[in-house]
Structure 1
Amino acid sequence: MIMSFFQSAEQKKYIEKLEQAIQSFPERSEALDESKGFPFENIQELKDFGYPILTLAKEFGGQGGSLYDFLLAQEKIAEYCGPTALGIGWHVGTVLSLTEKRPWKKEVMEEFFKEVSKGSLVNTAASEAGTGSPTRGGRPETTAIKKGDQWILNGRKTFTTLSPVLDIFLVTAWVTDEEQMGTFLVHRGIQGVTIEETWDMISMQGTGSHDLILNEVSLPEKYYVMQKEPGKRIPEAWLLHIPACYLGIATAARNYAIEFAKTYSPNSLPGPIRDLPNVQRTIGEIELELAEARHFLYSVAGKWETQPENHGELSKELGAVKLSVVNKSITIVDKAMRVVGAKSLQRTNPLQRYYRDVRAGLHNPPMDDATITTLAKSVLY
């Protein structure tokens, strides 16, 4: 049994109900990977369960879930389907951030929350081919130009995760009149918004991270929702959903390896391979790394919630958690494959999918090199 990190009986009950609701996810995963499709059924079942409103404030019809609740749920969903977890995580995390900060004008903020309460899904569209990861500070090539009382957006966004089912895009663009970056709320159904299916990766195929194309998209003034203050970066604890996701994938690999070790008995041995010292050592290493990763993730999440006065000091640990947990998750999957052996490379074996999917975590923000540099500068200057 894996050590519990529940803070309350209510939390435990919620995750147990969620686990029952996602029982069908694993059986769809192989077909999803082979078809390069999108988990429409999984997303609908999560909607039916009410998961997309987990972090929406109760005053707007949500469940008022915390960061800690969110991470527990993300880890569990990823154990059953990594791409589904990563995809829905961007929506639930975005809602958590906006619920906590309320950074837009009240009218638009309440309109947005109402749409989410009725089932709308949202994600930020920030990445572009010409700028790379938005965390690197590149200037968007997508432009926003004021014409009369409307904003006109043109550009192409890459890695728009969950795009087949998104209703709202939060688009970053260069506001030419102001010489600064801004964020615009764009509804899927308006003229000039299209999705081009470009996602063709060996990892996380089911996230539907296609290109968003904006062609003369006209928006009213109120949907210019946020300006970015130059040089100011706000710590975003909700991004811990990324390591939580890859930890869930690692847990799935761990579970498979343990069951295999208990049941696989070649005729060269008197019993199952679990009796072999080298297998026991590898499984023991997996258990240690899994425990270390969980303690780091949930310790920082718990402190973030209970010690708001220490957010400045804790902010550098957010990146450290992502780096540590993702890299431990990669190692855990690798060791699980060593236990199982060559069978782990069969196309029908889920371990080869976990192996491909878990490596995608290296390319989610923040990047390892940036985290290491931040940690170094925090003590050197």
Structure 2
Amino acid sequence: MTGLRQYVADFVRDTEGADRATALGAQFDAGLAWVHHPEGAGGLGLGPDRQAEVDAVLSAAGRLESWERNPMGIGMVAPALMVHGTPAQRALLRPIFTAEHIWCQLFSEPGAGSDIAGLATRAVRDGEGWVVDGQKTWTSLAHAARFGLALTRTDPGAPKHAGLTAFLIDMHAPGVRVRPLRDLTGGAHFNEVFLDGVRVADDARIGGVGEGWAVATTMLASERAVIGGSVGERGSGAIAMAVETWRRTGSDPGRRAELIRLWVDAEVLRLAALRDQRTRAEGGPGPGGSGLKLRRALLEQRIARFALELLGPAGLVYDADAVRANGPAEGDPVWTWLQSQAYTIAGGTSDVMRTIIGERVLGLPREPGLPRDTPWSQIPR
């Protein structure tokens, strides 16, 4: 579209003063949510590279975002619905974008974390629908979610990747129980979810029976691209916290070179993420996102440890009760360090990222294991 910036500027002026949900809904209806989507699905049928133009104008106008309120819905579920969903399921895109429907991802299980394809949650046909039984864990935002996208096993006799099917789950349905999991920070962002005889209609199935792994890979590739490829301003994020902590604690000259090295590494990662954004705009997320995710997780742990060490004995003090009551203080190095311990696990462990890079980027031989055609029911658990 010619004059895209003017089109966006006119939209901003026309929706001035609208509340969050109304403004975001208008943005979706105007095709400015995901410009690469078709018209009617939050887009204009443009190239994904044009989204940057839209976001620049919206950000300059101070428009509200829904990403932080609904990260799983926007970053993972929406891409899966666009690729694998029916037209009726794509109608869910609008309340996802407006954050009126918060979503969670029901993948990991107590016995299937890094190896998600080994999951045991069962979905069994019952008349025209399905009955789901199992347990999920480390489920972000399950306590606040209205819906979840669950990966289930529908054919135990098939190889583990082939016997999976994806379903939309009503998190308020009978048989769904959510229990919070406290982490090191004292917060409960994660949960475990119990699915006991949950009835699911067949039209809540995403993709074909046995095609759940394709849905999962779409979601996971998008998640890793978002985690690794998010781009802030130069010197922002964790490194800004480290610089401020260095200044506040007396600017230890003995650690100045270390701080500079971390700042340079953060800037290199930021520039790599910018380059990855352009690559994804041309062909969508790929295995390269795993490299960025791995590097970001490791770097932010290094930055967090550096800031914590600057505090000296004060770095041993942490009030988890206050954090539970009021949330973390902005730029708190202790909270940041505690939180960073999950970065090499969440969104795929660092070892899984290395495996993806080795096999799919570098073309190395596959890790030793059982033949790919081994039925899931015959795999030791």
What is the aligned partner in structure 2 of residue 181 from structure 1? 164
Asked whether the equivalents of residues 239 and 262 of structure 2 are also in contact (C-alpha less than 8 Å), the reply is yes
Q: Which moved more, 1:210-219 or 1:126-135?
A: 126-135
What is the aligned partner in structure 2 of residue 353 from structure 1? 335
Asked if residue 94 in structure 1 is aligned to residue 76 in structure 2, the reply is yes
Aligned-pair distance for 1:155? 1.4
Asked whether the equivalents of residues 55 and 96 of structure 1 are also in contact (C-alpha less than 8 Å), the reply is no
1:337 is aligned, of 308, 322, 326, to: 308
Asked whether the equivalents of residues 151 and 212 of structure 2 are also in contact (C-alpha less than 8 Å), the reply is no
Aligned-pair distance for 1:48? 8.7
2:286 is aligned, of 315, 340, 364, to: 315
Taking the aligned partners of 2:167 and 2:335, their CA distance within structure 1 comes to 36
What is the aligned partner in structure 2 of residue 5 from structure 1? none
Give CA deviations for 1:229-257 in whole Å, capped at 9, x if unaligned: 48865572342333467999x95543334
What is the aligned partner in structure 2 of residue 26 from structure 1? none
Consecutive unaligned residues of structure 2, counting only runs of 5 or more, are: 10-18, 60-65, 320-328, 366-381
Output aligned runs, 1:97-136, within 5 Å: 97-98=79-80, 100-101=82-83, 103-110=84-91, 112-116=92-96, 119-135=100-116
Asked if residue 290 in structure 1 is aligned to residue 266 in structure 2, the reply is yes
Question: Residue type of the partner of 1:354?
Answer: T
Q: TM-score, normalised by structure 1?
A: 0.67
Aligned-pair distance for 1:87? 7.4
Asked if residue 259 in structure 1 is aligned to residue 244 in structure 2, the reply is yes
Change over 3 Å in CA distance of 1:220–1:262 after alignment to 2:
closer
1:362 is aligned, of 312, 326, 344, to: 344
SS in 2 for 1:159: coil
Question: Residue type of the partner of 2:274?
Answer: Y
Output aligned runs, 1:55-66, within 5 Å: 55=33, 59=39, 62=42
Taking the aligned partners of 1:322 and 1:343, their CA distance within structure 2 comes to 31
Kindly tell me the number of residue pairs found equivalent between the two proteins. Answer: 309
Give CA deviations for 1:304-341 in whole Å, capped at 9, x if unaligned: 11x32xx6xx7332111111111111111122233343
Taking the aligned partners of 1:132 and 1:292, their CA distance within structure 2 comes to 31
Taking the aligned partners of 1:125 and 1:107, their CA distance within structure 2 comes to 21
Asked whether the equivalents of residues 229 and 277 of structure 2 are also in contact (C-alpha less than 8 Å), the reply is no
Higher helix share: 1
SS in 1 for 2:173: coil
Taking the aligned partners of 1:130 and 1:124, their CA distance within structure 2 comes to 17
What is the aligned partner in structure 2 of residue 141 from structure 1? 120
Question: Residue type of the partner of 2:182?
Answer: D
Asked whether the equivalents of residues 82 and 90 of structure 2 are also in contact (C-alpha less than 8 Å), the reply is no
Change over 3 Å in CA distance of 1:169–1:90 after alignment to 2:
same
Output aligned runs, 1:1-381, within 5 Å: 50=24, 55=33, 59=39, 62=42, 88-98=70-80, 100-101=82-83, 103-110=84-91, 112-116=92-96, 119-135=100-116, 137-138=117-118, 140-176=119-155, 179=158, 180-197=163-180, 199-203=181-185, 205-207=187-189, 209-227=190-208, 228-229=210-211, 233-234=217-218, 236-243=221-228, 251-264=236-249, 273-274=250-251, 277-305=253-281, 307-308=282-283, 315-347=286-318, 350-377=332-359, 378-380=362-364
Change over 3 Å in CA distance of 1:243–1:204 after alignment to 2:
farther
What is the aligned partner in structure 1 of residue 369 from structure 2? none
Change over 3 Å in CA distance of 1:285–1:321 after alignment to 2:
same
Taking the aligned partners of 1:342 and 1:172, their CA distance within structure 2 comes to 45
Q: TM-score, normalised by structure 2?
A: 0.67
Question: Residue type of the partner of 2:71?
Answer: G
Taking the aligned partners of 2:134 and 2:302, their CA distance within structure 1 comes to 38
RCO (CA 8 Å, sep 6+): is it higher in 1 or 2? Answer: 1
RMSD over equivalenced CA pairs, Å: 4.0
Taking the aligned partners of 1:315 and 1:204, their CA distance within structure 2 comes to 35
Asked whether the equivalents of residues 166 and 206 of structure 2 are also in contact (C-alpha less than 8 Å), the reply is yes
Taking the aligned partners of 1:46 and 1:293, their CA distance within structure 2 comes to 32
